Each structure stands twice: as C-alpha cells, then as structure tokens.
Structure 1
Amino acid sequence: MVTTEEVLDEFDVAALEEESNVELTDDQLENDSKGQLIKLAGQLRDRRNELNQMASERASKRDDLNAKTREKVDEAQEHREKRDELNEQVQEHKESRNELNAKANELFDEVEEMKQDLELGDGKDLEELEEEIEQLEFRQQTEVLSAEDERELIEKIEDKREEYQQRKEKLDDASELDELVAEAEEVRSEASQHHQKVTELADKAQEHHNQMIEAYREADEIRDKADEMHELFVEAQEAADRHHEDFVRVQKRLRELDKEEEQEQQDEREAEREAAKEEAEEIYQKFKEGETLDTEDLMKLQKTGLL
C-alpha cells in the first residue's frame, strides 16, 4: 500500500531556476544588432519551450495529486458511510438490549414477589407432614381417649391436613416460579447477546471512524501539495508566457529591421537608377550635339532606353 508520504515524495518538484531565464530590455530591443536579436530570439524561444514543458509536467502532477485527493476523500466517505451504518446497528441493538433488560427486570421482580408469597423457606416438607398425620391417626385409632382429648386430636389432624394441602399447593406453584425464573434468565441472556453485539459493532464503528479521520487527514496533505504544485505550474506558465511575449517582440523588431533594410536597399536602387538616368541623359545630350560615343556610353544609353 502506497503511503501518503511516498505519494508526496513522488511529486516533489524543485523551484524554478530564475538564473536560467532570458531577460530582454527596451535598450536591447532598440539598439542591438540584427544578429544579436536573432540570437536573443533563439534563446527566448528555447527557454519558452523549456518553461512550457515544465508547466505541462507540473500541471500533470497537480492533476494527479488532485485525483489522489479525490480518491482519499472517496475512501474517507466510504468509511463514514460504513461507520454510520454500524452506528445504526449499534442503536438498534441498544434499543433491543434495553427493552429486554427492562422485561427481564420485570420478570425478576415477579420472581421475588412470588418467592415472598410462597414463603418456601418456612414450614415442613410434605413427607414430614404425612408422617405426622399418620402418627396422629394411629394414636386416634389405638388409644383410649376422653371425648375432650379425642376432639382436640381430631382438630389437630384436620389442621395438619390443611397445612399439608396448603404446602402442596405452594409446591405446585413453585414449578411456575421455576418457569418464571427460566424465562427471566433467558430474556437476560438475550439482552446480554445484544449488549455483546453493541460492543462489537461499536468497536468496528470506531475503527471506521479512525480510518475516516486518517483518510481526510491524508487528503488534506495531498491537497496542500496539489495547491503548491499549482503555484509552481502558474510560476512556470507565467515565465513561459513572458518569454513568449518577449520572443514575439523580438520577432516584430526583426521584421521591422528587415523592412528597414529592404527600404534602404530599394532607396539605394532608386538612387542608382536616378544617377544612371542622369548620366545617360548627359551622354545623350552629347550624342545630339554630335560627339562621338564609345561602346560603354552606347550600352548606358540602351540600358536606360534612350537609344
């Protein structure tokens, strides 16, 4: 995996070398010779091309950095969406956990109430009560008792039978208590499972949150580098544009010099023609006056059309 540092190192660019630039002054433009200006135009053209290439490379690197910035932002957004999705699940499990815990609490409260109502910790078990009843009945059957003692014994047997029946009913209800306890424990267990999911999902959500923060941080670093690269691009492009403008100015000056040379040559040719014409007219005048002309004079007259 390529780190942000490696990305930034890949796009490290040195500053523009100002000393390599070509300077053009108004004095040079007006007073340098044509040969000097032609040389200067070549230097400006070459430096302009070099700067344009540099600007193009920097623009390409800037665009690559901006693309990598967008990749990091997209990566951060993916982590954000996953984090939010997990947080929603966390909230759902929290709600389920809380609902189940509330239900479990209600059931355990019912258990405690039922325990208090049953008072299972107090009294004798059924076998002991059965044995006591049998002993009392055996005594009634085998002993000779007065009417008063027998009546008391009968009442005592009835009390024991009633106690036995109440105890038996409580023990029957105790099975419902066991079922209630089991239900409460099952609900509490289910709530614990939801709590475990809350913890697991919250940890995963935090991981995606941390990754989102890191991706945004890296995006900011790369964006800053892209901004720096854009400044370097502008620097190179502006220098290239200046060299191009100076190149155009020199080219324009060279065309002016060419026109001036052409005009001078034309003026020279015109002066030569005027001089030749005047000379031919003088020769022609001599010819009219009867002077003898040599071959050279005749050729001058033919050249000017006077003969």
Structure 2
Amino acid sequence: MSIAEEFNIEELEESNNVDLTDEQLESGSKGQLIKLAGQLRDRRNDLNQMASERASKRDDLNAKTREQVDKAQEHRQERDSLNEQVQSHKESRNELNAKANKLFDKVESMKQDLELDDGKSIEELKEEIQKLEFRQQTEVLSAEDERELIEKIEGKREELSDKTGKVQDSGELEELIAEAEEVRSEASQHHQEVTELADQAQEHHNQMIEAYRKADDIRDSADEMHELFVEAQEAADRHHEDFVRVQKRLRELDKQEEKERKDERAEKREEEKAEAEEIYQKFKEGETLDTEDLMKLQKTGLL
C-alpha cells in the first residue's frame, strides 16, 4: 500500500494540469487568455489545497515521530537511572560479601583454635547419644554388650560436654558467627535488588528500542508525505507562475487596446478639426451653414 493510499491522500493527476505554451501566450486572443487564466487559477487553487492537506498530514506524522522519540528518551533516562542503582547495589553487595568472607574466615580460624572442628559436631553427638540410649532401652543385651554400650554412651557424653563447654566459654565466636551471617544476609538483599532492578532496566531498554523503531517507521512515512507535498506545491507554483504570465499578457493587451483607442480618438479629432476648419472657411466666404455644420464648429471651438 502506498503512503497516499494509507493516509487517504488524493493522487495528483497530471492530466488535470493546465499547460501554457509560448504560442498560446503570444498569439492567443484576449478571450482565450482570460479563459486560460481562469483554468490556471482554479488548478493552482486545487493544487494549493492538495499541498496544504499533505503538509498537514506530514506535520501530524512529524509530531507523532517526536512523541515516540520523547517516549524513547524517557525510557532511556529511566533505564540509565535504574542501571545506576544496579551499579550502586552491586558495589554494596560486593563490599558486604568481602566483609562477610573475612568474618567467616575469622570464624573458621577461631574454631580451629578451639578445636571445635575435630571429630563430630555437637548436633551429630547429640543424635548418636539418642540412638545409643534408644538401643540400650529397647534391645536385650548381654552383660558384656550392655557394659560396652554404657561406656560408649559415657564417652560420647564426655565429648559432647567438652565441645559444649568450649562453645559456651567462647561467646565471642557466637557473636562473630551472628555478625557474619547478618552481613551475608544484607549482601543477599543487595543482590536481590540488583536482580530486580536489572530486570526493570532491561524492560525499559526494550521499550526504548521499540519506541525508536516506531519513530523511524513514522519518520519514513513523514518523509514520503513531504515528497508528496513538494510534488503538489511545485505543481501549484508552476500554475501560479503561468497564471501571472497570462495576467501580465492581458495587461499588455489592455494597454495596447487603450493606446489604439487613444490613437483612434486623436485621429478622429484631427479629422473633425480639419472638417470644421473647412466649414469655417466656407462660413467666412459667406456660405450658408446648416445646423449640423454649426454644431461641428461649436464642438471644435471655432464658433
């Protein structure tokens, strides 16, 4: 579909244009030229109206292009603002992760100093003691097996008591662990912000690209509409120029006719004057004049 069809723009029919040749201008009669001037004027007016409509459509399209560009710029600004926030949260996240890593390294160092990493953990020891006690209560054992089981339970209890005592005596370790976990949690929150803000920034980026694409498409249509406007305006200007040429020629013909009329009147006055002088001469010689002759003398001022 052409741009003219898409926007319901009247096609410029070359066959409706009015042509003016030098021969028509120089040799045409006044009546022919008056008719031609009217045709040129009417076609010029039609073409000017056509050009005005096309210019209006073009301006509307340019305005819509500007709207899309403005929209794209808004999305660009929003995207850039979000990306700045992403960068800020990334920096905070990285700083906090680095801090948390140092704290956890310190935790591990303290555990090694307290020998808490040797053997089973406190939770594992508790679970093993429960299993052994359950076996003691539910199984039928020989005296020897039961003595060995009791000794094993006592050994686990001593190991649990030792580890529990070390942890209780080291409140600094618990505080350090709590601080490290809190810092890591805060870093995770910043990471979550990074993810959410980055998604929002990408969405604004996509909308910016789409707005620029629409702006380009509309701008192409505006450029085509401008070409249609120029086509109609140039045709209108040509018809106007030809109209002005015909008008100028008509004025020349009017002046020429006026000059011819003046020459005719002057020639007629000369003829009347010569005739009156002849009549006056007859009057001086005593000839009798009729009424018409007297009027001719009065008209020329000889009587």
Q: TM-score, normalised by structure 2?
A: 0.76
Aligned partner of 2:299 in structure 1 is: 303
1:187-209 CA-partner distances (Å, limit 9, x unpaired) = 22221111111010000000111
1:274 aligns with 2:273: no
Aligned partner of 1:188 in structure 2 is: 184
Contact 1:15 1:232 in 2 (8 A): no
- Of the three residues 52, 55, 77, the one matched with 2:48 is 52
State the distance in 1 between where 2:77 and 2:110 align.
49
Q: CA deviation at 1:34?
A: 0.5
1:265 aligns with 2:261: yes
1:109-133 CA-partner distances (Å, limit 9, x unpaired) = 223333333333449x9xxxxxxxx
Partner SS, residue 91 of structure 1 = helix
State which structure, 1 or 2, has the greater radius of gyration over its C-alpha atoms: 1
Contact 2:40 2:243 in 1 (8 A): yes
1:19 aligns with 2:15: yes
1:92-144 CA-partner distances (Å, limit 9, x unpaired) = 11111111211222222223333333333449x9xxxxxxxxxxxxxxxxxxx
Contact 1:84 1:205 in 2 (8 A): yes
Q: Which amino acid aligns with 2:108?
A: E
State the distance in 2 between where 1:175 and 1:81 align.
51
State the distance in 2 between where 1:200 and 1:168 align.
43
1:246-303 CA-partner distances (Å, limit 9, x unpaired) = 1111111111111111111222222222222333333334444444444433333333
Q: Which amino acid aligns with 2:46?
A: E
Contact 1:55 1:233 in 2 (8 A): yes
Alignment of 1:127-146 (within 5 A): none
Aligned partner of 1:75 in structure 2 is: 71
Aligned partner of 1:110 in structure 2 is: 106
Q: TM-score, normalised by structure 1?
A: 0.75
State the distance in 2 between where 1:9 and 1:73 align.
26
Partner SS, residue 257 of structure 2 = helix
- Aligned residue pairs: how many? 265
Q: CA deviation at 1:36?
A: 0.8
1:40-67 CA-partner distances (Å, limit 9, x unpaired) = 1111112222222222333333333222
Select between 106-115 and 279-288 the one with higher mean Cα deviation. Answer: 279-288
State the distance in 1 between where 2:293 and 2:233 align.
67
Select between 294-303 and 215-224 the one with higher mean Cα deviation. Answer: 294-303
Contact 1:90 1:201 in 2 (8 A): yes
State the distance in 1 between where 2:197 and 2:253 align.
82
Partner SS, residue 19 of structure 2 = coil
Mark the runs of 5 or more structure 1 residues left unpaired by the alignment.
1-7, 126-162
Q: Which amino acid aligns with 2:183?
A: V
Contact 1:111 1:177 in 2 (8 A): yes
Aligned partner of 2:201 in structure 1 is: 205
Alpha-carbon RMSD across the aligned residues, in angstroms, is 3.1
Aligned partner of 2:156 in structure 1 is: none
Partner SS, residue 9 of structure 2 = coil
1:219 aligns with 2:215: yes
State the distance in 2 between where 1:35 and 1:9 align.
40
Contact 2:10 2:50 in 1 (8 A): no
